[in-house]
């Protein structure tokens, strides 16, 4: 048996709240960010990259509050290579028990051309900004963005400058998911060999998944000497996403025989975090996603089922319990009480305050009346729905009636409570969802465009709850709404309204059209 305590430690930096949240439509509310940060901290993530403080007042407030509430994790904020960004970042992270400033600049020829800096000018900029960050904070991370497409000689030169200026972690981003495992390892080895002072800092690997190699590239970098992996829950992130935390952590655990490195992650928390991130970001996890997909531990074929029944190791390389996934049984019946519900929710990873538990209990009773069997997944959807659709929302659904079928257009009539007052209308449409959405548009006028409408059945059976995701876009602002109900049309309308309520919050935060002006991290100075 291997003694893991003597194995080299690989730090996990989670950037779900920064790089992950950058996915169009993945915007999370302030409270959701705080909740996710709390769960990451509890799971044992070493560093939480909580946001990009200069990007908006909302980002700043979220990073500052996450820093204030942090317990064990280091809290990191992102800053471009300029003094204003770094000062703003420090003002947000300084409240943490253990703060970190992460500053970066694009060093590849393509990225150098944007601010139009010569190699020498960029080198000077790196020296000045890392020095400034280090004067504020003992823990400074520096990244040469697009490192995998930067000339090796220049990369060595700027990494050396950053180390001399005081950077304690050097992150090597594969910004566009361009590298492949052998090359990823070679790059880290080259830096360790050629850069003076490289042995005094930690190298990090930050991969994107454009060619589906983010996990492999991250692990290859670790084998070559990187000791920090940057990743997100569910691989959330722009385009094809970032390295998935659950994949690298479980790979290091399952293949510890050939990857003898340890992390501080409590893997039994993975499933709960995956579900929460999926809900609050509005990004559903594909069923065949490694580790956390719905099918990851399902065995359909007879041969597989037979093998698993005789010995689970025939077709399973890890146990569902390792990631916090427990056997699905009938969770609760309509006679179950509040204490039983609290204990079941605890088992599923939810710690609710008394008033939240009361709300969920009322909804649970209503669901148990409509649905024969209430499964774990039903309860998870219920809690998510309760959290997403708050009592103080500007727009609320009071009632809905729909008539549809083969005889002509669908008809809907609806009452919405908007800012406390009831408003009634009716509308027709191409099908019941269209008719109901037309009622919403009539009662709460807006010009947001529907970008995505997705329905998932939570469990099997015709009485199953449906979870619906709706993504809207208005003047460059993208918001995603979610809701669950046994009635698909009701769930659809609630998800639409949830997205509109998020739009109200976004408009208030940024002012009309301000998102378009919002700072973009791609302009790295
Ligand atoms: O992908 C990237 O290059 C980044 C940097 C800001 C580290 O996210
Ligand atoms: Zn990135």
Whether residue 427 is found in the same domain as residue 377 = no
* The pLDDT of residue 352 is above 50: yes
Cα 320 to ligand 2 centroid, rounded to whole Å: 29
Cα 168 to ligand 2 centroid, rounded to whole Å: 19
**Of the residues 343, 360, 388, which one is the last residue of a structural domain?**
388
Residue 313 lies in a domain: no
Ion ligand 2 residue ranges (Cβ < 5 Å): 19
Which pair of tokens denotes residue 407? 């005889």
Whether residue 133 is found in the same domain as residue 69 = yes
Residue 418 lies in a domain: yes
Pairwise pLDDT comparison (105 vs 306), residue with the higher score: 105
117-137 b/e (C-beta count within 10 Å ≥ 16 → b): beeeebbebbbebbbbbbebb
CATH of residue 114: 3.20.20.70
* The pLDDT of residue 450 is above 60: yes
Predicted pLDDT at 344: 83
Cα 145 to ligand 1 centroid, rounded to whole Å: 6
104 lines ligand 1 (CB under 6 A): yes
334-347 b/e (C-beta count within 10 Å ≥ 16 → b): eebeeeebbebbee
Which pair of tokens denotes residue 510? 């940024």
Give residues with Cβ within 8 angstroms of 469, minimum separation 6: 282, 284, 452, 453, 454, 456, 480, 481, 482, 495
Closest of 403, 398, 409, 361 to residue 497, by C-alpha: 398
Q: How far apart are CA 80 and CA 86, in angstroms?
A: 7
Closest of 395, 383, 334, 381 to residue 359, by C-alpha: 383
Q: Which ranges of 94-151 would DSSP assign to H, the alpha helix?
A: 109-113, 119-136
Whether residue 267 is found in the same domain as residue 164 = yes
106 lines ligand 1 (CB under 6 A): no
**Of the residues 388, 417, 433, which one is the last residue of a structural domain?**
388
CATH of residue 441: 3.30.160.270
Closest of 28, 87, 103 to residue 62, by C-alpha: 28
Whether residue 204 is found in the same domain as residue 353 = no
Least confident of 97-106, 213-222, 424-433, 502-511: 502-511
Cα 399 to ligand 2 centroid, rounded to whole Å: 44
Predicted pLDDT at 77: 98
147 lines ligand 1 (CB under 6 A): no
- Please tell me what DSSP assigns to residue 244: B
Atom of ligand 1 nearest to the CA of 15: 8
Q: Is the dihedral of CA 140, 146, 149, 150 positive or negative?
A: negative
Predicted pLDDT at 178: 98
User: Per-residue pLDDT tens for 109-126?
Assistant: 999 998 889 999 999 999
Whether residue 376 is found in the same domain as residue 414 = no
Cα 123 to ligand 2 centroid, rounded to whole Å: 22
Query: What is the phi/psi pair of residue 4, to 5°?
Result: -70, -25
Predicted pLDDT at 518: 43
- Measured by CA distance, the residue closest to atom 2 of ligand 1 is 175
Predicted pLDDT at 259: 97
User: Per-residue pLDDT tens for 453-494?
Assistant: 989 887 777 777 888 989 899 988 888 888 888 899 999 999
Percent of the chain with pLDDT over 90: 66
pLDDT band at 521 (very low <50, low <70, confident <90, very high): low
Whether residue 136 is found in the same domain as residue 243 = yes
Whether residue 402 is found in the same domain as residue 454 = yes
Whole-model pTM: value is 0.84
Cα 209 to ligand 1 centroid, rounded to whole Å: 13
Cα 393 to ligand 1 centroid, rounded to whole Å: 35
* The pLDDT of residue 513 is above 50: no
Residue 15 lies in a domain: yes
Mean pLDDT of 292-316: 72
Atom of ligand 1 nearest to the CA of 78: 6
Q: Number of folded domains in the chain?
A: 3
Whether residue 352 is found in the same domain as residue 244 = no
* The pLDDT of residue 103 is above 50: yes
Residues written for the chain? 525
Residue 253 lies in a domain: yes
Which DSSP string do the residues of 280-333 spell out, in sequence order?
HH--PPPTT-TTTSTTTT---SHHHHHHHHH-GGGT-SS-GGGGT-----EEE-
Residue 304 lies in a domain: no
By most ligand atoms within 8 Å of CB, the mutation choice from 173, 177, 232 for ligand 1 is 173
**Which span out of 144-148, 292-296, 310-314, 518-522 was modeled with the highest average pLDDT?**
144-148
Which DSSP string do the residues of 386-406 spell out, in sequence order?
HHHS-TT-SEEEEEEEEE-SS
Predicted pLDDT at 517: 36
pLDDT mean across residues, the chain: 90
**Of the residues 388, 422, 437, which one is the last residue of a structural domain?**
388
User: Per-residue pLDDT tens for 384-395?
Assistant: 777 666 667 899
253 lines ligand 1 (CB under 6 A): no
Predicted pLDDT at 512: 42
Atom of ligand 1 nearest to the CA of 104: 6
Q: How far apart are CA 346 and CA 323, in angstroms?
A: 16
Whether residue 48 is found in the same domain as residue 145 = yes
Closest of 110, 101, 106 to residue 131, by C-alpha: 101
Predicted pLDDT at 20: 96
Q: Count CB atoms within 10 A of the CB of residue 445.
A: 7
Whether residue 381 is found in the same domain as residue 436 = no
Mean pLDDT of 363-367: 85
By most ligand atoms within 8 Å of CB, the mutation choice from 22, 80, 145 for ligand 1 is 145
Whether residue 363 is found in the same domain as residue 409 = no
Q: How far apart are the first and last CA of the chain?
A: 50
Whether residue 374 is found in the same domain as residue 454 = no
Element (H, E) at 165: helix 152-165
- Spatial contact of 21 and 274, defined as CB atoms under 8 Å apart: no
Pairwise pLDDT comparison (200 vs 294), residue with the higher score: 200
Residue 311 lies in a domain: no
Residue 518 lies in a domain: no
Residue 432 lies in a domain: yes
Predicted pLDDT at 337: 84
Which DSSP string do the residues of 35-91 spell out, in sequence order?
HHHHHHHHHT-SEEEEE-GGG-HHHHHHHHHHHHH-SSSEEEEEEESSHHHHHHHHH
Cα 237 to ligand 2 centroid, rounded to whole Å: 8
Range of the domain at 340: 326-388
pLDDT band at 299 (very low <50, low <70, confident <90, very high): low
291-309 b/e (C-beta count within 10 Å ≥ 16 → b): bbeeebbebeeeeeeebee
């Amino acid at each position: 048996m291997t003694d893991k305590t003597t194995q080299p430690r690989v730090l996990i930096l989670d950037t779900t709240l920064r790089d992950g949240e950058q996915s169009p439509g993945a915007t999370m509310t302030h409270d959701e960010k705080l909740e996710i940060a709390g769960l990451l901290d509890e799971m044992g993530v070493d560093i939480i990259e909580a946001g990009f403080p200069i990007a908006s007042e909302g980002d700043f407030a979220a990073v500052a509050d996450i820093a204030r509430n942090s317990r064990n994790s280091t809290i990191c904020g992102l800053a471009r290579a300029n003094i204003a960004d770094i000062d703003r970042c420090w003002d947000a992270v300084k409240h943490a028990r253990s703060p970190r400033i992460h500053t970066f600049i694009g060093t590849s020829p393509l990225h150098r051309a944007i601010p139009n800096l010569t190699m020498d000018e960029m080198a000077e900029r790196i020296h000045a900004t890392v020095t400034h960050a280090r004067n504020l904070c003992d823990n400074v991370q520096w990244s040469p963005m697009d490192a995998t497409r930067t000339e090796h000689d220049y990369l060595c030169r700027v990494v050396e400058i950053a180390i001399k200026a005081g950077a304690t972690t050097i992150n090597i981003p594969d910004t566009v998911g361009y590298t492949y495992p052998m090359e990823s390892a070679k790059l880290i080895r080259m830096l360790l060999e050629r850069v003076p002072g490289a042995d005094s800092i930690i190298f990090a690997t930050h991969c994107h998944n454009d060619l589906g190699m983010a996990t492999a590239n991250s692990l290859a970098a670790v084998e070559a000497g990187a000791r920090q992996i940057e990743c997100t829950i569910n691989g959330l992130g722009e385009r094809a996403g970032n390295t998935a935390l659950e994949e690298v952590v479980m790979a290091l655990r399952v293949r510890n025989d050939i990857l003898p490195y340890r992390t501080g992650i409590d893997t039994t928390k993975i499933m709960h975090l995956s579900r929460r991130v999926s809900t609050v970001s509005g990004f559903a996890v594909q069923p065949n996603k490694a580790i956390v997909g719905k099918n990851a531990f399902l065995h359909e074929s007879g041969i597989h089922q037979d093998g698993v029944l005789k010995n689970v190791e025939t077709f399973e390389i890890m146990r569902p319990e390792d990631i916090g996934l427990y056997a699905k049984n009938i969770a609760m019946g309509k006679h179950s009480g509040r204490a039983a519900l609290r204990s079941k929710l605890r088992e599923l990873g939810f710690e609710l305050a008394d008033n939240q538990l009361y709300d969920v209990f009322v909804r649970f009773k209503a669901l148990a009346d409509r649905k024969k069997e209430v499964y774990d997944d039903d309860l998870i959807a219920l809690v998510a729905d309760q959290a997403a659709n708050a009592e103080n929302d500007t727009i609320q659904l009071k009632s809905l009636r729909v008539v549809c079928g083969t005889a002509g257009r669908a008809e809907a009539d609806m009452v919405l409570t908007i800012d406390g007052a009831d408003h009634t209308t009716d509308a027709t449409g191409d099908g019941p969802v269209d008719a109901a959405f037309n009622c919403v548009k009539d009662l709460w006028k807006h010009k947001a465009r529907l970008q995505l409408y997705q329905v998932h059945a939570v469990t099997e059976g015709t009485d199953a709850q449906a979870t619906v995701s709706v993504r809207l876009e208005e003047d460059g602002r993208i918001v995603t709404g979610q809701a669950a109900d046994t009635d698909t049309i009701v769930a659809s309308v609630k998800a639409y309204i949830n997205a509109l309520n998020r739009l109200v919050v976004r408009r208030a935060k940024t002012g009309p059209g301000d998102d378009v002006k919002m700072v973009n991290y791609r302009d790295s100075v």
